[in-house]
Chains A and B, each alone.
Chain A
Amino acid sequence: MIECNHVYKQYKNGTNALYDLNISVEQGEFVYIIGPTGSGKSTLIKLLDGEETPTKGDVNVVGINVGKLRPRQVPLYRRNIGVVFQDFRLLRAKTVFENVAYALEVINMKKKPIQKRVGEVLELVGLQSKSASFPNQLSGGQQQRVAIARAIANRPKVLIADEPTGNLDPEKSDEIMDLLEKINARYGTTILMVTHDLTLVNKHRKRTIVLENGHIVADLAEGGYVRHDQ
């Protein structure tokens, strides 16, 4: 599902963000990417969703060589994946329902099936009663659940998330984790989640890839991570 082969990323200003990254994630896996701030986690997410291109190496997601896409093709590629961000990224001027529906409008789905599907995913995330609300009328946890509903509306095989619980308190973070686990289990969606919340990582144990200064320093199949540098 996700393959990174000898991936390097150097930004235009000369910053080296990733060095010789090799990652292979199978369909249906749930993987954490952890590491301190500046270790290159977000850069990896940007390579995966096509926002940045690798300086060297290949990034393959759902069989597509993401780094080789022309800018025009990137939106089409994104219809195959769901992306969730720390800052939710909901359209402020649209209701909960419209936000989720937008992801289906872009693929030219008809009105009727859109309504049906939006209803389904809002039910899945437990926000059917909020469908007419605007994002600023919701709590952070609720907004993130809307963002997750939007990300999975199109039934993507892969869901990537950049610190989805970064703005949430522990209780809400747990709720989001439960939701992601439910999606992973129910639909077999491959999930790659960036976090630096070690409590979460140790509580919901999964394969964990550890980044430091742009290098992979550990890939723990059994999960659970204890800081070893002090």
Chain B
Amino acid sequence: MISRPLKEGFRGVARHWGMSISAAIAVTITLVMISIFMIFSFNLENFTKDIESSLEISVLVDYDYDSQEQIDRIATELNDIDGVSEVTFSDKEQEFDFYLNSFEDETTRSAFEPFRDDNPMHNAFYLEAKSGSVIESVAEQAKTIEGVDTVSYGGQSTIDLVGAMSSVRKVGFVIVVAMTFLAVMLIQNAIKLTISSRKDEITIMRNVGATNRFIRSPFLIEGIITGILGSIIPIGLSIVGYTYLYRVTGGHMLSNMFNLLAPNPFIYRLAIALVVIGVVVGYIGSWISVTRYLRWKR
């Protein structure tokens, strides 16, 4: 039966309002911090993905390796390099068109048109790397393939940035996890206080034959309710704050280099994550404190 613990849990919160609020505040504080770090981390992840997908390695094929067999062989060898996620081929005709189309005005384009028959362009491959950190080694390996003329990729500084961001992201993740533990400890401590203030009540329950589980379940519901209460303010702040940030920045930071995640659906997913963390933290926190209190009780 779920209705008894639910009813008793709500009553417990209502009756021990002050205690519930102080436990909820502990959750609120940590959830606000968790929210900030999550907004930060997810956006950073997004930035990193944007940049990584813009990082392309171009491999130009030597004029002497023009035959279809040679092209196929080079394609296979490029595909075999560790860390390559995609290989696209662009023949010299396409390259020529591409070059031509890079000019805005018709006259320049027609001026180049005669060169089409004596095409100076190379056959080319474009490689996508699985992550920013492998670009250098992919490029190195591509260079060693027979028939490859030149290999180039976007600047070293971009790659360094990608590396730096991935370590910042890891730190952010660690902080979120640490915050969650902190929240569990804070709420557990707050609930421990409510329990010791109610130990007479618990003793009486045991006197009349209530099992630990029977005594515990309303407290778990109280913990969950406390967690939900504690997540209201962080959710409100996150939605309002992030939407505002997005609006004033126009969705970009540092002169359009970084795109912020659009508030919808990101902020709503974040809200759900915060409630879930609140509920889990409340549940675990009260479980720990009730169990610790009841374990050795006879």
Contacts and interface: CB of A to CB of B under 8 A. Distances in A.
Interface of A: 49-53, 69, 71-72, 74-76, 78-79, 83, 85, 89-93, 102-103, 105-108, 150, 154
B11 interface: yes
Contacts, number: 58
Q: Among the interface residues B204, B206, B212, which one has the most CB atoms of the partner chain A within 10 A?
A: B204
Interface string B75-101: 000000000000000000000000000
A181 B295 CA distance: 37
Closest 3 CB pairs of A and B: A78-B209, A79-B209, A103-B208
Interface of B: 1, 4, 11, 15, 200-201, 203-212, 214, 295-298
Where chain A touches its partner, the secondary structure class is loop
A225 B204 CA distance: 33
A52 B297 CA distance: 10
Main secondary structure of the interface of B (DSSP, over half): helix
Nearest to B206: A75
Contact of A107 (B206, B207, B209, B298): B209
Contact of A90 (B204, B209, B214): B204
Contacts of B209: 75-76, 78-79, 103, 106-107, 154
A93 B1 CA distance: 22
Contacts of A107: 209
Contact of B298 (A52, A76, A90, A105): A52
Contacts of B295: 71
Given A71-B297, A78-B207, A106 B212 contact: no
B207 A83 contact: yes
Nearest to B11: A93
B105 to A, nearest CB: 85
A76 B298 CA distance: 11
Contacts of B201: 91-93
Given A51-B298, A52-B298, A105-B4, A72 B208 contact: no
B207 A89 contact: yes
Contacts of A83: 207-208
11 contacts: A53-B298, A74-B298, A79-B209, A83-B207, A85-B207, A91-B204, A91-B205, A93-B11, A106-B205, A106-B208, A106-B209
Nearest to A82: B208
A93 to B, nearest CB: 6
Nearest to A66: B298
A53 B1 CA distance: 33
Contacts of A69: 298
A53 B296 CA distance: 13
A89 B200 CA distance: 8
Contacts of A71: 295-298
B204 A75 contact: no
Contacts of B211: 72, 75-76, 106
Contacts of B4: 105
A51 to B, nearest CB: 5
Contacts of A74: 206, 298
Given A85-B207, A92-B201, A106-B208, 16 more contacts: A50-B298, A69-B298, A74-B298, A75-B206, A75-B210, A78-B207, A89-B203, A89-B207, A91-B205, A93-B11, A102-B205, A102-B210, A106-B205, A106-B210, A106-B211, A154-B209
A112 to B, nearest CB: 14
A73 to B, nearest CB: 9
Contact of B208 (A50, A92, A102): A102
A67 to B, nearest CB: 10
B212 A75 contact: yes
